[in-house]
Amino acid sequence: MNSPTSSMDVIYQKLAAEMDGLLKRIDEFEDFVGESGKKLALQADLLQEAGSRYGRAVQEFTEEAKTELADYFENRAKVVASEQAALLRETVLACIKAESGRALLPCRAIIRKAQTGWIVAHGLTAFCASVLTALLIRFSG
């Protein structure tokens, strides 16, 4: 009767050793899961901070682009106005110098030239404004 009892003791000892090993592995796994959770939370915080920095950079870029665009259009308007003023002065001077009906023909050509330049300049300005506005909307998020 002792034999089965001692072999049972051996089996119980093996079973207890395996259970101890499994319990240690479970404890190690719980530690691993806990550390992984901490690492995941840290990565989420880093991603959140990077997203915030990216958002600020986009906002700063958008504001800078708006300022530059406003400056460009202001300067372009000044240039167009001075070109138109020069053409109108030239037209007025040509008309004043005109002594006959034939002399008025160059005045009409100059006026047409002024009108065409105005249309081209404003068309170009409108096109640039549309493209830059579309880009700002696209990249401002």
Question: Is 110 a residue whose pLDDT tops 70?
Answer: no
Residue 39: the pLDDT is 92
- Cα–Cα distance, 80 to 74 (Å, whole number): 10
pLDDT over threshold 90, residue 98: no
Cα–Cα distance, 128 to 77 (Å, whole number): 13
Q: How many whole angstroms separate alpha carbon 119 and alpha carbon 83?
A: 12
- Rounded Cα gap, residues 39 and 17, in angstroms: 33
Residue 32 contacts residue 26 (beta carbons within 8 Å): no
Percent of the chain with pLDDT over 90: 16
Amino acid 80: pLDDT = 84
Amino acid 19: pLDDT: 92
Which of 42 and 113 is assigned the larger pLDDT? 42
Give me the pLDDT at residue 38, please. 92
User: What is the rounded CA–CA span in Å between residue 63 and residue 67?
Assistant: 6
Tell me the per-residue pLDDT of 5-20, one tens digit each, with 9 for 90 and over: 678 888 888 888 999 9
Q: What is the mean pLDDT of residues 96-109?
A: 58
Cβ atoms of 58 and 141 within 8 Å: the answer is yes
pLDDT per residue as tens digits for the range 24-67 = 999 899 989 889 889 999 999 999 999 899 989 888 988 888 88
